[in-house]
A = this chain, B = another copy of it.
Amino acid sequence: MTTDPKLQSNIVQLHAAKQPTIEFWYEFGSTYSYLSAMRIETQARDAGVSLSWRPFLLGPIFKKSGWDTSPFNLYPAKGRYMWRDMERQCARYGLPLTIPDPFPQSGLLAARIAQVGRTQPWIGDFTRAVFVAEFGSGEDISDEAFLAHLLLEAGAPAKEVLEASKSPDIKDALRASVGEAEEKGIFGAPSFVLQTGELFWGDDRLADALEMAAEIAKA
């Protein structure tokens, strides 16, 4: 222990650098984000990796590729395959699956709420509740009253959170998150980013990302 502020600060930094962390970039309209969202908190804990929830929006990124909707809608063969693949993956993970109508849904309000709460203790429960409602039961996740209900179930102060979610600060913060995602090379969801900047894309890379995060901390 030291009382020297400079040394103290170095120790804190060193500790922070050695604490393995993973950023989980997810979009509420994304089917494969559902698969990762349901498992990442448990798996990160088991791997000794601390988890940073990073809700963002793919719409503005897709728009720059000239896409006005999900590529699963733009390319029908890819879309048909994705739903069958989701059936298989959900069966494997023991998750319910209902195709929401319409797909994709608007996840804007849910993403703003998650932006408000991304470092709050209720973020995991809220995120999972939204995804299960959407892809497990086919519910409409753009409905504000429904999201308020999910917030309360997750133990969040629903009224304050909803108010904050509509503030210019949060709208700006979510927009900045989209910009940050692009700077990190993200082009789809889910994506996982390590402290080194290493990027992993897709639910199929969740285990690899956690494994590398844990290794970095050991190095």
Contact = CB atoms under 8 A, between A and B. Distances in A.
A213 B208 CA distance: 26
B81 A75 contact: no
A149 interface: no
Say how many copies of this protein the assembly contains: 2
B199 A78 contact: no
A77 B204 contact: no
A85 interface: yes
A185 interface: yes
A185 B65 contact: no
- Give the interface residue-count category, chain A: 20 to 34
A88 B208 contact: yes
Contact of A81 (B80, B187, B208): B187
Nearest to A67: B75
A186 interface: yes
Contact of A75 (B80, B187, B202, B208): B187
A218 interface: no
Contacts of A6: none
Contact of A65 (B75, B80, B199, B205): B75
Contact of A199 (B84, B186, B202): B84
Contacts of A208: 88
5 contacts: A75-B187, A78-B187, A80-B185, A88-B208, A204-B204
